[in-house]
Amino acid sequence: MSRVEGLRADSSQFTLERKSFSILGGSIHYFRVPRAYWEDRLLKMKACGLNTLTTYVPWNLHEPERGTFNFHDQLDLKAYVSLAAEMGLWVILRPGPYICAEWDLGGLPSWLLQDKGMQLRTTYPGFVDAVNLYFDKLISVIKPLMFEEGGPIIAVQVENEYGSYAKDEHYLTYIQHCLQSRGIKELLLTSDNWEGLSYGGMEGVLKTINLQRLSFGAIQHLADMQPQKPLMVMEYWSGWFDVWGEHHHVFHAEDMLAVVSEILQRGVSINLYMFHGGTSFGFMNGAMDLGTYKPQISSYDYDAPLSEAGDCTPKYQLLRNLFSQYHSEPLPEVPSLQERRAYDPVAIQQHLSLWDSLHFTDKPCRSERPVNMENLPVNNDNGQSYGYTLYETTITSGGTLNSRNNIRDRALVFADRQFVGSLDYKTHELVLPGGKGEMTLSLLVENCGRVNYGKALNEQRKGIVGDVLLSHTPLRGFTIFCLDMKPDFMERLMSSGQWKSDFKSPSTPGFFRARLYVDGPPRDTFIKLPGWGKGAVFVNGQNLGRHWFVGPQHYLYLPGPWLRSGENQIIVFEEQKADDKILFAENPDHGKTIDVYKLPFCTLL
């Protein structure tokens, strides 16, 4: 079905179907929301007065191994976009290949880093070849959803904030060609923050800006760069993300509303990033590194208008009142709140030490020198992407262990499987106790999340990335175990007969099992682990994300659709400090907060 005319940017206002059109958009990432809740979140978007959904597309989830694609179930992009169309929402797609999104490696697959010479986000042949194969598949999925073919997609973004990276003057033109040569005819646009906006534009591609405050004449700067073109804030940051060990970021509703009101009064189109943040389930959180490495938390609540669990916040109500003024018809009713439950605490019933779990991993790799995660011969030679890697070798004496900053990102160190200390990006040295004869030295290394923004993308290999010295001599002769804790491993673990019920001397690191019995329909809840240290939580095989006592996140969102009536299996992987129970709450505890409006502007770039 061919339509009259899609989104155009030929004058100072957008037109859609040859009528003046303002984009009132919001970002919701399908990969951060349980599929069972897509409809609820999109109905709430529509009821808030928005007319356009924007979403990124994470390459690393859709092509987890080179040439193996997944567009099913939770990753059914076609179903998500089609659902938006059913709701009467337009869609702006942001397919990358790089997306940032506070997502591991900005959405790029880690197997790209197997190539020592890899230059991500450039026209380096190894990168171009991989992008071409991915776009062949991706665009075959999304092309039938384009406006010209009767679908809801009215615009497609060319890469993401490339002006802040800008390592290759030919790269954006290449991505533009990737899209157009495969039949994408809708409006193309770029999005950049203030820092990157001045980077050279492309013929026929509209520039948009990302911001939170209207400082430095940002909108006027964009207008001056593109006279007689429509203006759009592609990312209006409705809140901010959190990193481990710092306070929870908030952006007060009144401050947000003042800026959004002014943007709309100026006739500028807007997309709220995020409208609903959701959760970076599993090990998918990214990290920031603007001089210091800081991994992000699993919650992507973002202090957005819809909370992590889909609640309508005060921001939502204020925005609904504001956006209703831009509609001639009354807005739809807001869907009712999802019911939640604080289940009774459950006791840990069994545990299994990390060491006893090793025979459930894939065959270990033996190597004279340490091998980084991405280059391990696992996952059909695509390497290890996420989780933990255990490096073991034999030593004959104690001494000073020096990582030379080659640990990525954090290692627990054991001598004969007794914990002796940890190494990370701040701590590079550790004294090992002397012993009699040979000892097994074990380093359990966690990938805490690859950097998703900035110039350091090519340096994001994880595990042990170079020599580690013991008394100035490089360690050699490693046995390396991949502990990515994927579903097949967790299934083998759960069906093992080796779990121990004696809880008087639980071994850490290890896995701790409890059973949650749900009577009646399952409801959303939040898991709390006040007496625990650091690790990850799995419910019925689903990886909910990381827990760490340093906060600010002291809960994990457990969606009701991932529970079942009757018995549910909860497994906590714990590195250092286990408790004997797991608690539940109806609402999250965000801990101490900090107002992002009071942070220096440069920290929000």
Looking at residue 338, what is its pLDDT? 87
DSSP for 384-410 reads --SSEEEEEEEESS-EEEE-TT-EESE
Q: Do domains 15-324 and 369-476 have the same CATH topology?
A: no
Q: How far apart are CA 194 and CA 15, in angstroms?
A: 26
Q: Where are the domains of the chain?
A: 15-324, 346-351+487-585, 369-476
Radius of gyration of the chain (CA): 25
Report the first-to-last Cα separation within the chain, whole angstroms: 42
CB-based burial label for 69 (10 Å; 0-12, 13-18, 19+): middle
Instruction: Residue 7: name the closest of 99, 94, 91 by CA.
Output: 91
- Provide the pLDDT confidence category of residue 599 given band limits of 50, 70 and 90: confident
- Summarised one tens digit per residue, pLDDT across range 556-581 is 999 999 999 999 999 999 999 999 99
The one catalytic residue in 102, 159, 235, 308 is 235
Average pLDDT over residues 235-253: 97
Of 605, 532, 542, residue with least CA distance to 193: 605
pLDDT of residue 2: 56
pLDDT greater than 50 at residue 519: yes
Encoded tokens for 215:
């400082």
Per-residue pLDDT for 177 more than 70?
yes
- Tens digit of pLDDT for each residue in 316-370? 999 999 999 999 999 999 999 989 999 999 999 999 999 999 999 999 999 999 9
pLDDT above 70: residue 601: no
* CATH 2.60.120.260 given to domain 346-351+487-585: yes
Q: pLDDT category, 598, cuts 50, 70, 90?
A: confident
Tell me the pLDDT band of 307, cut-offs 50, 70 and 90: very high
Kindly report, residue by residue over 578-589, the tens digit of the pLDDT.
999 999 999 998
Residue 525 has pLDDT above 60, yes or no: yes
The dihedral built from the CA positions of residue 170, 155, 605 and 119, taken in this order, carries a sign that is negative
Tens of pLDDT along 261-305?
Answer: 999 999 999 999 999 999 999 999 999 999 999 999 999 999 999
What pLDDT is stored for residue 472 in this prediction?
96
Tell me which of 443 and 502 has the higher pLDDT. Answer: 443
Distance CA 367, CA 482 (A): 13
- pLDDT value of residue 1: 47
pLDDT value of position 605: 46
Known catalytic residue: 161?
Answer: yes
Tell me the two tokens of residue 487. Answer: 């579903």
Q: According to the model, what pLDDT value does residue 65 have?
A: 98
Spell out where 475-523 has E strands.
Answer: 478-483, 510-518
From 63, 102, 159, 161, active-site residue: 161
Confidence of residue 435 (pLDDT cuts 50, 70, 90): confident
Give 187-200 pLDDT, tens digit per residue. Answer: 999 999 998 998 98
Predicted confidence band of residue 600 (pLDDT cuts 50, 70, 90): low
pLDDT per position as a tens digit, 366-396: 999 999 999 999 999 999 999 999 999 999 9
Q: Which two tokens stand for residue 573?
A: 């992987």
Better-predicted residue by pLDDT, 88 or 2: 88
Mean pLDDT of 39-51: 98
Catalytic site includes residue 235: yes
Nearest 10 degrees: CA dihedral of 124, 130, 134, 135? 30
CB atoms inside a 10 Å sphere around CB 508: 20
Enter the DSSP assignment of 242.
-
Q: What is the pLDDT of residue 368?
A: 98
For a pLDDT cut of 90, what percent of the chain falls above it?
93
> What percent of the chain is modeled with pLDDT above 70?
99
Q: Which residues contact 317 (CB under 8 A, 6 or more apart)?
A: none
The yes-or-no verdict on residue 94 having pLDDT over 60 is: yes
Residue 602 pLDDT greater than 90, yes or no = no
Mean pLDDT of the chain: 96
For the domain 369-476, what is the CATH code?
2.60.120.260
Does residue 603 surpass a pLDDT of 80? Answer: no
Nearest residue to 334 via CA among 353, 310, 370, 298: 310
Homologous superfamily, domain 15-324: Glycosidases (3.20.20.80)
Q: What sign results for the dihedral spanned by CA atoms 276, 281, 284, 287?
A: positive
- Going by the DSSP 8-state scheme, the letter that residue 433 receives in this structure is P
Q: Taking residues 140-167, what's their average pLDDT?
A: 97
3-state secondary structure 344-367: CCEECCEEEEHHHHHHHCCCCEEE
